[in-house]
A and B are shown apart, each in its own frame.
Chain A
Amino acid sequence: MHLRLEELISLRDRQPVDAASASHAAACAQCTAGIRRLAALRADMRQLPGIAPPELWPVIEARLGVDSTATPQRRWTSIAAAGSVVALVLALAASFPQFQAGAPVTTARAAGDVPLEKLVERSQRLETTLRQLPQRPAVEVAANSVAIDALQSRIQRLDVELASDEAGESGQDRQQELWSQRVSLLNSLFGVRYAEAVHAGYRATQEEGSL
């Protein structure tokens, strides 16, 4: 009887196994080959290339500034969640002054760094992910609703502007800026919806006493 996979892994990792298993492995070509293959597979996994993240620092930096006064723990309490959501919306409003009447248009910080096609693709991916989120809870937190409505409203206004310039007459830079803002808004919308879904789920499960 050859060694079990768990024992082969233990031998690969130089972990203790019983004496009979150790002596079997030493004498069995098949088990020795199995240990070698496990080691090769581990080496292959370690050699897999790293994955470059998208440029998220501007978002993180903005959120750091927004939430710097919030207590780090107990993020899932409804008061903290509502507070941070409202702060996020206020910050977003401040970040996109073109939505304020009469305000001059400014360029988004990272708009020029990402190709337009990538921004469109990322926007589509975020929309796909948003559609997969569970429906909003029956009992909504008011601050969440305000934030979600505000974000959706801003996305709609962006879409109107994008639709009115399908020919791209406003120029590549403007298109890039609009799509960059759209990605940022969708990302924030996902963040709020995701936090809401997880919060609702945790609360429901805790009430059932099964988590």
Chain B
Amino acid sequence: MSTFLDINVPGEWLQRARASDPVAQRSIYAALARPVYTLLRRLVLRPAVAEELLQEVFLEVLRNLGAYTGAGSFAGWVRSIAVSKALMHLRSPWHARLLPGDCQGAITAHAAPPGEGVDWGSDLERALNELPDVSRSIVWLHDVEGYTHAEIARLYERTASFSKSQLARAHAALRDALEPKFGDPECTFASKN
């Protein structure tokens, strides 16, 4: 399950950070930077973009600590900001212009360009990397972060059926990419998609 759920940020840090205490602000960053960056890299792939978004997430978090009401975990609140910024980037005209040839009407599959230092260490990471942005982000949000189809539907301003369909597409593509590794030719999904 999401690593965010394991992170407990003490209320004292929040209180001090609201008063612009730099030590508390840095402590919050240190506690959450790695999971936030991991999530951003899974969603947007490109290290340079993920680094920019990481800055934007923490700027928003630390400037708006007063907006965190205490309902739900603080880490979950930070995660929702990170997800929102990543999806905003994927939907942006800049991103769409940079990556023409959309296969789903909005966003296209891509790999990070050469020279960005991407080291996808496993077959699974490579397979995830090859998914279209929408499918990859939905499979990650659903299967790893634990978002429900209804929550994903709200993020994309679409229906729960859209989320389910994209999740199935993602799994079909992952299965195709990883099939040799699984090595069980008799077991095939009978997808109607």
Contacts and interface: CB of A to CB of B under 8 A. Distances in A.
Given A9-B168, A60-B55, A198-B93, 18 more contacts: A2-B189, A4-B168, A6-B193, A41-B124, A45-B124, A46-B143, A48-B125, A50-B37, A51-B37, A53-B33, A60-B62, A61-B22, A68-B20, A72-B60, A121-B117, A132-B98, A201-B92, A205-B93
Interface in B103-152: 113, 115-117, 121-122, 124-125, 128, 139-140, 143-144
Contact of A44 (B33, B124, B175): B124
Interface string B49-78: 111101100111011100000000000000
B113 A128 contact: yes
Contacts of A61: 22, 25-26
Interface residues of A, number: 55
B171 A56 contact: no
A194 B171 CA distance: 33
Interface string A16-44: 00000000000000100110011001101
Interface of A: 1-6, 8-10, 30, 33-34, 37-38, 41-42, 44-46, 48-54, 56-57, 59-61, 63-64, 67-68, 72, 121, 124-126, 128-129, 132-134, 187, 190-191, 194, 197-198, 201-202, 204-205
Nearest to B174: A41
Contacts of B164: 6, 9-10
B52 A190 contact: yes
A6 B165 contact: yes
Contacts of B184: 33, 37
A64 B63 contact: yes
B34 interface: yes
Contact of A30 (B38, B125, B187): B187
Contacts of B113: 128, 132
B168 A1 contact: no
Contacts of B189: 2, 4-5, 8, 34
Interface string B2-24: 01000000000000000010100
A30 B171 contact: no
A60 B58 contact: yes
B172 interface: yes
Contacts, number: 153
B171 A41 contact: yes
Q: Which of B51, B186, B189 is packed against the most chain A CB atoms within 10 Å? A: B189
Given A194-B94, A201-B94, A64 B48 contact: no
Nearest to B64: A72
Given A45-B140, A45-B143, A125 B117 contact: yes
Nearest to A1: B190
Contact of B98 (A1, A33, A41, A134): A134
B48 A129 contact: yes
A10 B165 CA distance: 11
Contact of A126 (B25, B48, B171): B48
Contacts of B140: 45
Contacts of B25: 61, 64
A45 B144 contact: yes
B116 to A, nearest CB: 5
A54 B54 CA distance: 10
A51 B128 CA distance: 15
Given A48-B122, A51-B38, A134-B98, A2 B190 contact: yes
Contacts of A45: 124, 128, 139-140, 143-144
